[in-house]
Amino acid sequence: MPETRFIPGADTARAYRDALGCFGTGVTIVTTLTKTGPLAITVNSFTSVSLDPALLLWCPARSSLRHDAFVAAKAFSIHVLAEDQLEMAQHFAKNGEGFCDGKWQLSAADTPALPGVLARFDCTHFEAHPAGDHTILIGQVKAVTTRPGKGLIFKRGQYGGFLEQL
């Protein structure tokens, strides 16, 4: 199959997005507590920044109705989803306020903690940087909770997991 070469821009936005989709990412849900209650958003723009101090980043879209609440949040938690949590990922991608009773609890960091995730990073707001149509939010990790299991992956617009090794 021949290679495609293009310069990223408004007229090639779809091709650029498709090219980015070639890189598989984990799926996370970021939560915070607002004056009106818990708020969540599903994201795959998540990465480690520093080990000392422990810093992570994620990037909410400026066009998201949830953007401003997360940029203003003093604390948030990033949840790494397990392979069987696709329904939760899809739910919070559409509805950030759709928390069901009993499906979350308040963490020691005063952020909503979701059940059954592989890892949760409880963070305080460290820095925010405008970056094109997103904002880079950097959190300083204050506590980490983990459990064994396989993660939920997103690649080329599809969710999946890892194949069992033989």
What gap in Å lies between CA 144 and CA 140, rounded to an integer?
Answer: 11
98 vs 44: which has the higher pLDDT:
44
Helix, strand or coil for residue 100? coil
Alpha carbon 60 to its chain's center: 8
Mean pLDDT computed over 114-143: 96
pLDDT of residue 73: 97
Question: Residue 7 forms beta bridges with which residues?
Answer: none
pLDDT of residue 2: 77
State the pLDDT confidence band at 95, using cuts at 50, 70 and 90: confident
At residue 24, φ and ψ (nearest 5 deg) are -75, 140
The answer to whether 144 and 135 are in contact (CB under 8 A) is no
Flag whether pLDDT at 108 surpasses 90.
Answer: no
What gap in Å lies between CA 24 and CA 27, rounded to an integer?
Answer: 10
State the pLDDT confidence band at 165, using cuts at 50, 70 and 90: low
What gap in Å lies between CA 19 and CA 81, rounded to an integer?
Answer: 24
User: Which pTM does this prediction carry?
Assistant: 0.88
At residue 70, φ and ψ (nearest 5 deg) are -75, -35
Query: For the chain, which residues make up each domain, given as ranges?
Result: 26-151
pLDDT tens readout for residues 1-14: 778 787 888 888 88
pLDDT of residue 75: 97
Tokens of 46: 């998540």
The residue ranges of DSSP E strands in 12-164, in sequence order, are 25-26, 28-34, 37-43, 46-51, 54-58, 75-80, 105-106, 112-113, 119-131, 134-146, 153-155, 158-160
State the pLDDT confidence band at 25, using cuts at 50, 70 and 90: confident
Kindly report the average pLDDT of the chain as a whole number: 89
Q: Do you find a cis peptide bond into 115, omega within 30 degrees of 0?
A: no
Contacts of 85 by beta carbon, 8 Å cutoff, 6+ apart: 27, 116, 117, 152
Say which CATH class 26-151 falls into: mainly beta
- The residue to which tokens 């149509």 are assigned: 133
